[in-house]
Chain A
Amino acid sequence: MNELITTLKQEIIEVLNLEGMTPDGIDDNAPLFNGGDPSVAGLGLDSIDALELIVLMERNYGIKLKNASEGKEIFKSVATMADYISKNRTK
């Protein structure tokens, strides 16, 4: 699991072009999206980033989401995303 989390962080940084960020700098449990509320700590990603994460899951792990709204629960944090991937990956 830890290995998957580290890989995933690297992939997120690359796909979302999070310049200057390192895997160590991302808390496993910090929210990826703050819903536009800057007082919530975390990465502060938006709806397009969510779509990019869906593409990432499909390309790298063979997971296909039908609806963008399914991403809401999955992308709460890197930990929840890794958890979902480990249970549903086809590659």
Chain B
Amino acid sequence: MAVYIQSAAQITIQSPLCDDWFTSPIRREGRYFRSVEPDFKAFIDPMASRRMGRLLKRAIASAMTALDGYKASLDAIVTGTGLGCIETTEKFLNAMLRDGEQALPPSFFMQSTHNTIGSVIAQRLKCHGYNNTFTHRGTSFDCALQDALAQFELNDISSALVCANDEMTEAYFQLFDQIGYWKTEEVTEAMFHHPTSEGSFAGEVSAAFLLNTQPTQQTLCRIDGLEVLFEPTDERFRQAVEALLGKADISREEVDAVVCGYNADRTNDEVYTRRLTPLFPQTTQIYYKHLFGEGFSASAMGYYVAATCLKRGEIPAHIRYKEGKATQPKHILVYNHFQDKDHSIALLSC
């Protein structure tokens, strides 16, 4: 059964809940950026949100925007989040370490479980359907999407909201800084093209995608398939790509572009080149992390960018990493990996 992305919404370090990044992106050069937030009052009344940290508010606002105008039933809510509501987790942890193990605030603990995000969305929508949460570092969203796609395939569901939500608190930025996740100097766009050191820059992502099986005028694109792999050999990787293309009955030459998670980290970026060059030597490559930053939910923006390009029928110059043949895009691969361990590759078409 064909699965379509009907709509998508994002709250990131670009202008929120719109596609301004496509035409007039905010240039991000630095080490750490927090999301640009919309006015949450339009989505949640203050009484209902009084215990919510900002990630929950972003999750609701992006989910409600993706679902705007959608009247049919929703069969599943699947969330990807690497760290969950880390801000409230830190609050509980700090209270415990500072004040000892007495009289600790329950609200912070309650929000510390990763599936708070998916459950708050379900409560908001009164959605009794399937609800699951994946917390697998840089492929958290890809795993969530795989869950939904497996159930579409089995005809167990015919609609799903698939989300990605991660925040980067000041404290967590510092922790990741300790272990070399970020560059020591400000990241510039030039570094994406000629990375000479390890590390990236931090961003935040809340993204929501509405998937179902009925194409409409509004439909962004079709998802032809997704492969999630752990430390694939070159042969296994090639097989997975061939399986994806074979199922959609297209050849490698018909792939118009590959979206890659280049993040200005030399080791990270080298993996994309090494894996893709033998299979797609001439194909256009798209990058997006220079706009949205790095983080466990960042890969969701790869899908977002691909879907937007397919819908609009163009790939704007500022996201073209490598020039291939100039065509109106019909088939785009979205390739993501985390430390060359977890890999995911999806085919989106229109």
Contacts and interface: CB of A to CB of B under 8 A. Distances in A.
A70 B342 CA distance: 50
A58 to B, nearest CB: 4
Contact of A44 (B47, B51, B103): B47
Interface string A19-52: 1100000000000000000000000100010011
Contact of A48 (B46, B102, B103, B106): B106
B105 A55 contact: yes
A55 B50 contact: no
B105 to A, nearest CB: 6
Interface of B: 46-47, 50-51, 102-107, 110
A52 B50 contact: no
B50 A17 contact: yes
A17 B110 CA distance: 16
B100 to A, nearest CB: 12
Closest 7 CB pairs of A and B: A58-B103, A17-B50, A19-B46, A51-B106, A59-B103, A55-B103, A55-B105
Interface residues of A, number: 12
Given A55-B106, A59-B103, 6 more contacts: A16-B50, A19-B46, A44-B47, A51-B106, A52-B105, A55-B103
Contacts of A58: 102-103
Contacts of B50: 16-19
A19 B44 CA distance: 13
Nearest to A18: B50
A49 B58 CA distance: 23
A48 B110 contact: yes
6 contacts: A19-B50, A48-B51, A52-B107, A55-B104, A55-B105, A55-B106
Interface in A61-89: none
A14 to B, nearest CB: 11
A39 to B, nearest CB: 16
Nearest to B105: A55
A11 B51 CA distance: 15
A16 B103 CA distance: 15
Nearest to B50: A17
Nearest to A59: B103
Contact of B106 (A17, A20, A52): A52
B19 to A, nearest CB: 31
Contacts of A44: 47
A44 to B, nearest CB: 7
A6 B50 CA distance: 21
A52 to B, nearest CB: 6
A44 B48 CA distance: 10
A18 B286 CA distance: 45
A17 B50 CA distance: 5
Contacts of A55: 103-106
